[in-house]
Chain A
Amino acid sequence: GENVEQHPSTLSVQEGDSAVIKCTYSDSASNYFPWYKQELGKRPQLIIDIRSNVGEKKDQRIAVTLNKTAKHFSLHITETQPEDSAVYFCAAPNAGGTSYGKLTFGQGTILTVHP
């Protein structure tokens, strides 16, 4: 099965700075890499995802990069704002197994943006 490692576990930045969260995965067959944001007491929500046929994807202040050779992908948030404070989870599918769509999640990164 897939193994996903996420770093750092906590990240504190000043408003306006950039934040980067990194994840590594073990299954070279994995082809879909989503990032979820979970605000305190709320459900996880997809913020961006990337497929293995591209190396980078951007959506306003957030971007995700993928290095399939090294089996790692990263979330980049620029011009951070206090409302970006949340727990961020990366994930990768168990594509090599029999259950397409089942996700293995990283342990999460608590991002705090100080005004």
Chain B
Amino acid sequence: GAGVSQSPSNKVTEKGKDVELRCDPISGHTALYWYRQSLGQGLEFLIYFQGNSAPDKSGLPSDRFSAERTGGSVSTLTIQRTQQEDSAVYLCASSVLDEQYFGPGTRLTVT
């Protein structure tokens, strides 16, 4: 079946602009996660959605970052007033139990 998909695959934006990153999880997966991976670094947890529960936003680095999940499926990560330090690969994952399946990521470059 279809895996996790993300769009766009690459995004170049100017400092100060807002960006939206999209994640389509695997159908039926109740949990959805956003991670950030800077060049040569590990995966940094950002936010986690589980069913209809309130999201765990404990990993969001600043109030410029927000995310929503509509209808328990598609999720959008929004970064407002982008900064150069926001440049990274943003990975989405979904799961139904423990195993998390990752999307291909969105490479964000802030110039």
Tally of A-B residue pairs with Cβ under 8 A? 57
Range, interface on chain B: 20 to 34
- Residues of B near A42 (CB, < 8 A) are 104
- Taking chain B's interface residues, is the majority helix, strand, or loop, or is none over half, making it mixed? strand
Known: A98-B56, A99-B56, A101-B50. A46 touches B42 (CB 8 A): no
- Residues of B near A100 (CB, < 8 A) are 50
- Min Cβ gap A4→B in Å is 9
Complex partner residue of A106 from B42, B101, B105, CB under 8 angstroms: B42
- Residues of A near B102 (CB, < 8 A) are 36, 43-45
- Expressed in whole angstroms, the Cα–Cα distance for A115 and B48 within the complex equals 41
- Residues of A near B48 (CB, < 8 A) are 99, 101-102
- By Cβ-Cβ distance, the 4 closest A-B pairs, closest first, are A99-B56, A43-B102, A105-B43, A107-B42
Which of B's residues lie within 8 Å of A, judged by CB?
Answer: 31, 33, 35, 41-45, 48, 50, 56, 58, 91, 95, 98-105
